[in-house]
Structures are given as structure tokens and as C-alpha cells.
Structure 1
Amino acid sequence: MSALWRRWWLGALCVALLGGMPGLALAQTRITDDLGATVVFDRPPQRIVSLLPSLAEIVCELGQCQRLVGVDRYTNWPASVQALPQVGGGLDPNIERVVALRPDLVLMSVSSRAGDRLRALGLKVVALEPKTHADVQRVMLTVGQVLGVPDAQKIWRAIDAAVMAAAQSLPPAARGTRVYFEVNPGPYAAGESSFIGETLQRLGARNIVPAALGPFPKLNPEYVVRADPDLIMVGQRSVDGLLQRPGWQALRALRQQRLCVFTADESDTLVRPGPRMAEGARLMARCLADKAPARPGARP
């Protein structure tokens, strides 16, 4: 009888683990996204469409790239995602393409206009938008919770430690450098309250764009002339027209060639609030080490 009892008990246990016995169903995961919506998952999603590059990068950093079945047109890292179907822009994706991929989760930014339509079609949608270092940590933990990845906090700690190491690598002379960081040719700048601004602060630099102007304000080019930064950081897409902006030929940073120009790939790394923030910190630290004046803020 003991052998029969053992077989019955093992069979019952298997049924319970599969959710087949009343009251013993698998535990649900319940999260609240950045729009305040509560989303419930009976099991970790296996088919994910991401409509924001930083969210796709977080999924992959958590070791779950294989769950991605579609991405927006701007997602390009890691290289493996470039083979995935693209569903258009993240703000206004092709709804039919998204639905055709049969996702059990759509990750998107809070500013995407597709959320209501996708929810109306019965899809689970989670809106998340990291804007600061704390946001990146929170979003990574939330995505890890949804995907059933237990070590998301450990992965975040490694990223944070790498940012700290980049700061510690800088020579003392580079600290206090007044920096203008241009995100795109608007010109849109990275202000103190942005995740880029937070990285600059951790590197000991001073941002010429105060938090009061917002995280990524569009500036009048004359604002930069008046601020006269020690060092300018821009992407390759911005550099060609800098000297044509009114008054920019007089900027000390341009006259003294204290300008760091990032490639398109480097710019993607720098402007996406996600797992590559550590690499972004290293790029900015290298720029500061190479180009910062001996006495930051000093006038000629």
C-alpha cells in the first residue's frame, strides 16, 4: 500500500503544480504600471512585443531576449533583436502587426498612443518609462517580477557599481567641469533632472542646464552662448551645424576644441535609460578625462 500511496501522492502533487486542483492554482503576479493601471498575470509572459528601445534592452539584460517576438523600429541592441519583426514607431505602432505577433505582453512608454486600442483588443499592456536612475532600477525590478526573473536587483547593483567605478576613474582635475550635453539638434539638452544629468553629477561634472528647465528642454542656442560651457558633448548628428548657430563660434569649448562627438551607436547608448547606463557613464568619463580644462570654469 505504501507504494500505491506514494504514486497517488506524487500524481496529486503534479496536478496541483499544474494548477489543476481547486485552491492550488499557480500564484498570480500583479503589478501597477506607470499609468497607474493594474495588470495581472497568471503566468510569466512568453511572447513580448516591446515598443520602447530601453524596455527591450532591459528584457535582454535580464536574460530573456528569446521572449521578444517584435520591437519598434528604433530598437537595435543587442544585435540579435535586429532580426525581429518591426511594428513601426513606438508612439504610434502598426496595431495589426502587433496583434499578428500574438503577444501575451506589450511593453510600451507612457506617451505611446497605442495603449487603449491594444487593451481593447484584449492584449495585456504595461506602460513603463524610466527617466532617472531610480526609475531604471524600479522598471528593471518590475519587468523582472513580470518575467519571473529573481535576480533583477543583482543585475541593477552591477550596473550601479559600474557607474560608480567610472566616476572613480576620473582625475580630480576633471571635477567641476561645466558641461553642455546635447541630446539632438533641436537643440534639445539633457538637464540636471534627466538620467544623463544624474550621471554627469555622479561623475563630478556641473550641468549648465538646471533642473528647473526640465529633463530634456529645447533651448534657444543663445542660452548656451550665455552659459559658455567648459565642454560640449554631442552626437554625430548634431555636430555639423554647431558653428552656424548664432554666437557659437565664440564659445570657448569650440575655440579650444573641448568637444566630444559621439558616434550614432554611442549616442544610442547614452540617451537610453536602461542597462547600458554604465557604458554611457564610461563614455562621458572618457570625454571628461580627455577634454576637460585643467581648471574647470576658468576664463581665458
Structure 2
Amino acid sequence: MRIRAALAALSLLGLSALAPAAPIAIKDDRGASVTLPDVPKRIVSLLPSLTETVCELGDCARLVGVDRFSDYPASVRALPKLGGLDDTSVEALVALKPDLVLLGVSARVIDRLEALGLKVVALEPRSMADVQRVLGKVAQVLGKPDDARRIWNRIDGAISLQAQQLPPAARELSVYYEVDAAPYAAGRASFIGEILARLGPRNVVPAELGPFPKLNPEFVVRADPQLIMVGQRSANGLPTRPGWHNIRAVRDKKICVWVPGESDVLVRPGPRMGEAAALMARCLRQAAAGPVPWPTTPFNAPSGGMR
């Protein structure tokens, strides 16, 4: 009897191994419902934060192509580069025969890819809640929901740790964070603004202006922040903007200038947000102690342009 029971159990195991995988159903940030027959084996990612999310979940090997800006982790730099949001090479992408294309909601190529029969999931993280949700959706696609919870807890814990270690003087500063020289700012409603809020300083750009509003430069002059955070691309001309010499941050030389590698960490809403918090915390500590040193290496735009 025991032998027959063991044989029956082995038979059931064999049948379960041969059973087809359950389809994966997901609703993306357009509200579109996408059904995948199985965990995708060949993925194209057209957004750096999504590329980093796939890799953080341990599935870099499933990526067969990425956008021109995806450069982390180092292994993705060898993958075919397929352009950006506005100039994706559809022919090169189709030739890679992906099971799934991950991209941002604003990508112009969505309709064309779907017309060609490709599975497309559009995700657009803007806030920290969005990042957590997108992490969960990508993990669902990859069949790793438990890993998403683990990774999010690590990110959240890293931000909390940075906040706990900041001295009171650093937490009391007022901050203007510029993401582009138009100027576009990181408002309190953005993931950058939310990290800043967790650290403690006051963001001079209110939430009601939206996550990344385009500002009248006079707004920043009137706000008179004690500290400015800005990428190296925009930093050199910043002190000479009309009226900006009167801003406390400019007058007191409290401007944190991010080199390109640091900017990438800070502007990508994904797994490296704990590192972004550490960069901001370093800046806040420096500004609380006195003038902030500028980078000593000149700015060189990465090949392929900037975002």
C-alpha cells in the first residue's frame, strides 16, 4: 500500500509539472488590462526606473533591450539601446521578439507596439506610493510578489535611517530642488519632495503646484530658500539669473550640485531611493555646517543626450 501511495504521489507531481502556467492579469497605469500567458522570458524596458526595478527583483537576465538612458546596473549597458520616449526604434524593438514591453505612460510608441501585437504595460511612478505600487506590479508580472514587499521595506527603512541621523540644524533648512533649468522644480507632491519631507527640511514648492511644476524664476527669488539642490547641467548659470544673487542659498554658497551619476539616482523613482535619501542627507549636513563645495570636475553630457 505504501508503495502504491508513493507512486500515486509522484504521478501527481509529474502532472502538476506538466500543467500549463496560470496566466498573469495586470491593469497598468493607463487603466488598460493586460494578460500574459506566463512569466515573460524576454522583456524590453523603455524607462530607467523600470529597468532598475526588474534588475532589483533579480531578473536582469530577462531584459533583451532598454532605452538609451538605462545604465544601471552595469550589466544593462551591453544591451541593445532602443532610443527614448519620443524616438524609440520600433523596428529594432520588434526584432528582439519581446514577450513584454515595459514603458512610461507618456511614451509615444504605445499604440504602434500594441497594433503590432506586442504586450505592453505602461507604468508611471511619480510619488513614493506610486513607486511602491509599480514595484508590486512589476513583481506580479515576474511572479515575485514577496520580493516586492521585501525590497520596499528596505527602501523605506533606508530613508527612515537617514532622517534619524540628521542633526536638527539640517532638518530646519528651507530647500528648493530644481530638476531642470526651465526652471522645473520638484514639488512636495513628487517622490523627491516626499523624500525631502521625510528627512525634515521645508520644500519651498507647495504640493498644490503639482509634482514637477514649471516655475516663474521670480517665485524662487520670493521663496528665498536657504539651500538649493540642482544638477550640474543647470548649476553654472544659476547664480547669475536675474535677482537670484539675493537668494540666501546663493549668497551663502549653499548650493548642492549633483554630478550626472548622482542626478540619475535622485531623479529615478525606483529601487535606489534609499541612496537618493543618503545623497540629500549629505547635502543637508554640509549646508547646515557652512558653504557647500562645488564639484571639481566639469560637466560632460552623457552620450545620447540628457532626459
**Shared fold (TM-score, shorter chain, > 0.5):** yes
**Distance in 2 of aligned mates of 1:77 and 1:132:** 21
Q: Which residue of 1 aligns with 2:195?
A: 199
Is 1:239 the counterpart of 2:235 in the alignment? yes
**Distance in 1 of aligned mates of 2:140 and 2:239:** 48
Q: Which runs of 4+ in 1 moved over 4 A?
A: 1-9
Contact persistence 1:230–1:292 (CA under 8 A): no
Contact persistence 1:179–1:231 (CA under 8 A): yes
Unaligned runs of 5+ in 2: 291-307
Cα 1:5–1:251 change in 2 (3 A) is closer
**Distance in 1 of aligned mates of 2:186 and 2:129:** 17
Contact persistence 1:48–1:67 (CA under 8 A): yes
Is 1:14 the counterpart of 2:10 in the alignment? no
CA RMSD of aligned residues (A): 1.8
Give the CA deviation at 1:254. 1.0
1:183 is paired with a residue whose SS is strand
**Distance in 1 of aligned mates of 2:103 and 2:177:** 26
1:151 is paired with a residue whose SS is helix
**Distance in 2 of aligned mates of 1:272 and 1:134:** 14
2:163 is paired with a residue whose SS is helix
Give the CA deviation at 1:185. 1.4
- TM-score under structure 2 length normalisation: 0.90
Alignment partner of 1:96 out of 91, 94, 98: 91
Give the CA deviation at 1:244. 2.4
**Distance in 1 of aligned mates of 2:162 and 2:108:** 37
Alignment partner of 1:210 out of 201, 206, 229: 206
What one-letter code is carried by the residue in structure 2 that aligns with 1:69?
A: V
2:77 is paired with a residue whose SS is helix
Q: After superposing the two structures, state which structure 1 stretch, 36-45 or 196-205, moved more.
A: 36-45
2:34 is paired with a residue whose SS is strand
Q: Deviations over 1:183-234 (max 9, x none)?
A: 0111111001000000110011101111111111111211111111010011
Q: Which residue of 2 aligns with 1:298?
A: none
**Identity, % of aligned positions:** 61
Q: After superposing the two structures, state which structure 1 stretch, 52-61 or 39-48, moved more.
A: 39-48
Give the aligned length. 289
Unaligned runs of 5+ in 1: 20-24, 295-300
Q: Deviations over 1:53-81 (max 9, x none)?
A: 00000001111111111000111111111
Q: Which residue of 2 aligns with 1:144?
A: 139
**Distance in 2 of aligned mates of 1:11 and 1:103:** 35
Alignment partner of 2:33 out of 25, 32, 38: 38
What one-letter code is carried by the residue in structure 2 that aligns with 1:251?
A: I
**Distance in 1 of aligned mates of 2:191 and 2:228:** 17
